Amino acid sequence: MKRLLVLVTTLFLANIAQAHGIFGVGPAIGDPIGVTGNFELDLNQSIDAFVGWSGGTHDGTQVHADYLQILGPVAAIEDQQLFFYWGAGARLTFITRGDDKNKMAFGPRVPVGLETEFKDYKWQVFAEAALVLDVMPSTTLDVDILIGGRYYF
């Protein structure tokens, strides 16, 4: 059931985004590790999503989505600009180990990060840290740290 939910959500978002031509997808490493997608609403706003494995406070399959506000350029090297972003969203983890095995962890997520785009190659690279407050199955504080890249269609 979990895999079906992840598959349907991914296909739904990809179908919407492909119609607009502003959807990026690619790998992300850190904790968690997996696949990330981003749908650009306009130059200053986007929605990102992630599916992968978390080994943090709760080991298991993690799904999260965030609304992001992109603030623009904070630095530039030659013609390459570096942008700061922040946002708010939620994280859901299907726990597979430990005392809470077979339970779900859920809570709000507040990411901040830096990103740059290589427009000629349709690639974006980012680094992100997110504070997460799981409110179920118990209240715990966690940090997600990701480095990744996305190719835009």
Amino acid 56: pLDDT: 75
**Are the C-beta atoms of residues 18 and 8 closer than 8 Å to each other?**
no
Gap between the Cα atoms of 106 and 139, Å rounded: 9
Gap between the Cα atoms of 137 and 103, Å rounded: 7
At residue 98 the predicted structure's pLDDT band, cuts being 50, 70 and 90, is confident
Amino acid symbol at 47: I
Q: Which domains does the chain have, with CATH numbers?
A: 2-152 (2.40.160.20)
Asked if residue 76 has pLDDT above 70, the reply is yes
Encoded tokens for 65: 């989505």
Q: Who wins on pLDDT, 136 or 12?
A: 136
Element holding 26 (H helix, E strand): strand 23-31
Taking only the tens place, the pLDDT of each residue in 26-49 is: 999 999 999 999 999 988 999 999
At residue 118 the predicted structure's pLDDT band, cuts being 50, 70 and 90, is confident
Please give the mean pLDDT across all residues of the chain.
87
pTM across the whole model: 0.82
